[in-house]
Every structure is written in structure tokens, then in C-alpha cells.
Amino acid sequence: PEAGSAAIAASQAGALQHRINFTRTDEEEADRIGIGILARSGYNPYAMADFFGRMAQATRYQGSRLPPFLRDHPVTTERIADARARAARDPVAHPRDRLVYYLTRARLDVLVSQDPVATARHFRERIASGQYERAEAAHYGYTLALRRAGDYPRALREIDRLLREDPDRVEYLMAKAQTELDAGRTHAALATCAYAARLYPDYYPLTIEYGNALLRAGRPDQARRLLLAYLRIGRPDPMLYSLVARAASQAGFVSESHEFQAEFYDLNGQVRAAIGQLERALKSARSTFQRERIQARLAQFKREVKEKK
């Protein structure tokens, strides 16, 4: 319960901070930090300026119909020029692993496909003919397509081949865990997730995958502990809140589950639904501290609704 309370308090604080509007000075500082992170991570620091330029181009005729974020954080020619100037002062620290790009592209090809069998055949033909930019990406795409097509034995053979060459690559480990889970090999999937989590303890996609695997394995309490630990260090995220709400509910923490579901609704802009969840949470609160926390959050949401009228 203490861990849940701490995580809820931290997540509420994070959600509040998430909604604070930046001043222009803060925005300049955020741009500077972001460009520096890109450069130090081996990404092209000019990519941010290019992205700003594309956003400005795409929204130049929208006027008052701009999305709220772009009204609060306008992409001006000055901001684009500043981003380019900062990028020039931040050379790339080391070249980024280009394989990640090709793996991501292969994964997207599979995700958008309406016919996984045809996609698997396409990747197989590319592998046979040598028509690929990176062999690993072609085999990875083939693996994912086989999994979507339900050919789990062949998908596992392909991913094991990739892992023999690169045993600690997180994309391969996650693909293996997902395939094992779909194939009904739950214990094997959990072992793969546990190994990957030791290598990448704070990696968000892996945390979500591991939490899902634990829930499917009937271990909601372990899933709850895993997700609460990540919530204390991660940023607010609707998918994370939804998953930890499920885990808390299945583990018997009913009030806590409603609290996290409230945060999920809040991040999706559904404040009235969040209020409903907190009212349910209040009815099943286990302690005075929990009731006071819920009441404070409930009052905050009700003020927001009143201010919007």
C-alpha cells in the first residue's frame, strides 16, 4: 500500500507538472536541452529544426484552427533559426546505431500490413534474393510477420538466429518474449522479459511488455510492483496508468485501481470520467491518508471542471 501511495502521489505531481504552460524562456531552454540530448545520443541535432520546419509548413494556413499545443508553443521562424544555430554548436558525440532505423522501418512495415502472410512472403523473398539494406532488419521483419501470421515455431527459430548474433539487443528480446507469449509459452516469455529487464531496467516499452506478460501469467501483484516502480521514475503516460490500474484491480487494490484509472482519464482530457473514478476510489479507501489524498485530488478536478464552464 505504501508503494502504491507513493507512486500515486508522485504521478499526480508529475501530471500537474505536465500541464504547466511554458514561458518562451523555458521553451528556449527546453529546445537547447533537447538538441543537446540528440547530439550526445548520436542522433542528428539538425533533426529538431527540420521537424519544426515541417510543422510550420504543415500548419501555415490553419490560423485559429491550430492545435492547442501549437497555439501555446508556436513554431516561429525565429525558433527554427535558433534550433539550427544550436545544432551547429552541438556536434554528434558518436554515430547512432543505424540498425535501429532499419529495424524500426521493418517493424512498421509489418504493423501497417493488412496481410501478414503476404508480408512474411515479401520478407522471405527479399532475404532469398539478397535485396535488403540490412540483413538483420530483413530477418527481423520476417520474424514479426511470421508472428502476426500465427507461425510461432518458425518465428521463434528466426528470432533465435538473430539473438545468436546479437544476444542483448532489446528489439530481438522483446520480439522473442511477445512470440513466446502468443505461443502460450508464458514461463519462457517471463524469463525472456526478466533477462531483458536486467539489461534495460528503465526501458518503457519493455516495462509495458513485461507488465502485460505478468498479467497474462496470472501474476497481478508482481505486475503491480513492477509498474509502480517505473511510475516513480517515469513520466505520466496513459498506457502505463491503464495497465497499473488493471494490475491493482486484479491484485485486490480496488481503491488504488480507481485512482490510477482517474489519472488515465485525466491525461486523456476526460476530467469528468476521472471524477467518477475518484468517487468510486473514495468508497473503497482503506485508510485516512488515502481518503484525504483522494479528496484533495477530487477537489482539484472539480475546480478544473468549474473553471472551464
Q: Is 258 exposed, middle or buried (0-12, 13-18, 19+ CB in 10 A)?
A: buried
Q: First CA to last CA across the chain, in angstroms?
A: 36
Going residue by residue through the chain (309 aa), what tens digit of pLDDT does each one get?
666 666 666 666 666 555 544 456 777 777 888 877 777 666 677 777 788 777 777 766 666 566 665 666 677 788 888 888 877 777 655 555 688 989 999 999 999 999 999 999 999 999 999 988 899 999 999 999 999 999 999 999 999 999 999 999 999 999 999 999 999 999 999 999 999 999 998 899 999 999 999 999 999 999 999 999 999 887 778 999 999 999 999 999 999 999 999 999 999 999 999 999 999 999 999 899 999 999 999 999 999 888 887
Query: DSSP letters along 91-119, please?
Result: --SS---THHHHHHHHHHHHHH-S-HHHH
C-alpha torsion sign, points 61, 64, 70, 75: positive
Q: Taking phi first (over 0 means left), then psi (-120 to 50 degrees means alpha), and beta for anything else, what does residue 252 get?
A: left
Contacts 24+ apart (CB under 8 A), 130-134: 133/102, 134/98, 134/99, 134/102
CB 169 within 8 A of CB 161: no
Residue 22 pLDDT? 47
Please give the grid coordinates belonging to residue 219: 501474476
Domain boundaries, the chain: 97-187
Nearest to 271 by CA among 19, 67, 66, 65: 19
Residue 98 pLDDT? 81
Query: DSSP letters along the chain, please?
Result: -HHHHHHHHHHHHHHHHHTPPPPHHHHHHHHHHHHHHHHHTTS-THHHHHHHHHHHHHHTT-GGGS-HHHHHS---HHHHHHHHHHHHTS--SS---THHHHHHHHHHHHHH-S-HHHHHHHHHHHHHHT--S-HHHHHHHHHHHHHHHT-HHHHHHHHHHHHHHSTT-HHHHHHHHHHHHHTT-HHHHHHHHHHHHHHSTT-HHHHHHHHHHHHHTT-HHHHHHHHHHHHTTSPP-HHHHHHHHHHHHHTT-HHHHHHHHHHHHHHTT-HHHHHHHHHHHHHT--SHHHHHHHHHHHHHHHHHHHHH-
What is the pTM assigned to this prediction? Answer: 0.68
Q: Give the Cα separation of 221 and 227 in Å (integer).
A: 10
Please give the grid coordinates belonging to residue 179: 512470440
